[in-house]
Each structure stands twice: as structure tokens, then as C-alpha cells.
Copies of this chain bind each other. A is one copy, B any other.
Amino acid sequence: MNIVITGAAGFLGKKLVKALLAKGSLLNRQGQMQNITKITAFDIAPLAGIDNPRLQVVCGDISNPAELANLINEQTDSVFHLAAIVSGQAEQDFDLGMKINVDAARQIMERLRALPQRIRLVTTSSVAVFGGNLPDKVPDDQVWMPQSSYGTQKAMNDLLLSDYSRRGFLDGRSLRMPTIVVRPGKPNAAASSFASGIIREPLNGEAANCPVSTDTRLWLMSPDKAVAALIRGHELDSEKLDQGRVINLCGLSVTVETMIGSLRKIAGDDVVARISYQPDQAIINIVNSWPGDFHADYARRLGFEANASFDEMVREYLAEKDATA
């Protein structure tokens, strides 16, 4: 099994590389377990800190078709395409978002189409495709009405992946990710960055700002569950995908207040006191356009799993922090 991962130096990419190396095998398109012989970890910056003979680290530009042609070739069985411009940056720089989130993704699909073997493509989409008048709990057949360029670009990609799959150019699966919390590391330009920041920074003795109202409801998934979902998304038999190639994953629906309550229970009042509450209207506008709860019946039927509680998500972060300390 020869696997290519784009955006591999990102936090989810790196976790996926580790998980695949640990797992050692994946189902192939014939439904048989096959050893993973090679993982090519592609990103604009090198994936550092993992040393394994089956891992090849490659730096490059996902928007360059010549580099893509080298990266993805006759030996490739599966591609996890995780490289993306995040929501805040795609809103600030429309052209960069289109270039990476739409055009580069399309070039990857064109590359898969040009190869003789049917390659499995797993990619991520976002709840940012939803917006407008929404029910409290969004059903799987809810129309897409993105209120951001990021959501627009992810939805375009979802459509294209579905059509490329229908035409047999590739075997695609797009997973609509809840907001991933608690992300390790630094804040990023995603409008949802605060959702990890208000847990992570206080736990690390630092101040964090909550830019939205504490009654804001978010749809969340922990990093471990996200990696499990990517692998599950890869393993599904195409014939099971009877509701299409785009899957609204199941997540945990919680308010910011509940999140802070878990933090208080697990880490105490002093830690929670490091959170400030300065509203940021730009973030409020984007985050409020995202739904806070989903039915996700299709994902559940396909065997995807949600976190049981926000406590579990805080504890997952603490365990990860201890393991890497």
C-alpha cells in the first residue's frame, strides 16, 4: 500500500502519519488488508520528528502540476488530501483560497484521473458550507449556503470530488469535519481557532480570549476521533456510499459555556480565570453562520463515531501533552 498525504506537516496530517505507521496496514479497493509499504508526507514545510523507513518526507507546492505528477504516480494507491487554506485566511485572501482550496484540489483530481489505477482520495470538507436560515439541528439533506469563501471553496470541491467519483476518474470521499478541538500548538488563522485556544492556553498557563458569546453552540470533534474518521473514510467500501461521497461527520454539540465548565471541573478555577471575553465581530459573524448541531445519520450508519463528552476531549489533550512533554 503506497499512500500520499498532502498537508502532512499540519497537525492533523502529522497525527495521521503516526496513526498509519502504527496501524501498519489498510484495506485496499478489493477489501483486503494490505501492508503499508510507503507513506509520502508532502507539505510546503517538512514534516519533522518522525523517523521511519516507510516514510518519505517531500516538500513542495501543491499548486504546481509538475510536482503533483512526481508525487502521485503509477505506484500510488491512496491519497489523503489535507492541504488547505484555513477559513480566516481564505476570507482575507480570496485568490489564495481559490488557488489552493479549489484549483490545486482540482489538479490533484486531474492527476488521479490521468493515472490508470483507480486511486482512493480522502479529503476534508467543512460545516462552513452551511449558512442562512438553518434548523437547530441540521439534517443531511440541508442545502449548502456558505457565508464565507472557505465554505464556498470546500463546497465546490465536494461537488467536483463527487462527479469525478461518479465518472470513475477516482474513488473519492469528502468528510465534513466538525471543528477540531483541542488542537495542540499555536493559534492559527481559522475563525474557529479560539475554540482550541480557550482550553489549550489556560492549561499551558497562558491567557486566551473568547471572542464569541458563551452561549454559542459548536460542533466539535477531538483530534483522535478526526484521525479515526479519516481512516474510516478510507476503509469504506464504495458500494456502501449510497448517499453520496460527501459525509457530514458526527460530532459533539456543546456550548462554549459547557466547554469552559469541563475545563473548570478538570483544571480548576485558576485555569479558567485565564480566559478573557473580548468580542470580535468578524469571528462572531463567521462562527454564528456555522450550525452547532447535526443529525449526521449517514455518518452514523457508515460507522463513524463522535466524542462522548467534552471532558473526554479535554482529557485527550492533557494525555497527548503529557506524552509529548
Contacts and interface: CB of A to CB of B under 8 A. Distances in A.
Interface of A: 94, 132-133, 140-147, 149, 152, 155-156, 159-160, 162-163, 166-167, 243-244
B133 A141 contact: yes
B143 A152 contact: no
A143 B146 contact: no
Contact of A141 (B143, B152, B162): B143
Contact of A162 (B140, B146, B162, B243): B146
Contact of A156 (B142, B145, B159, B244): B159
A273 B94 CA distance: 57
A143 B145 contact: no
B133 A167 contact: no
Nearest to A246: B145
A243 B133 contact: yes
Given A94-B167, A132-B243, A167-B94, A152 B145 contact: no
Contact of A132 (B155, B159, B244): B244
A156 B160 contact: yes
A244 B131 CA distance: 10
A51 to B, nearest CB: 42
B166 A159 contact: no
Nearest to A131: B244
B146 A144 contact: no
Nearest to A161: B152
Given A141-B142, A146-B162, A147-B166, 6 more contacts: A133-B141, A142-B143, A144-B144, A144-B159, A145-B162, A152-B160
A145 B165 CA distance: 13
Contacts of A147: 166
Contacts of A167: 94, 149
Contacts of A146: 159, 162-163
Nearest to A155: B159
Contacts of A166: 147
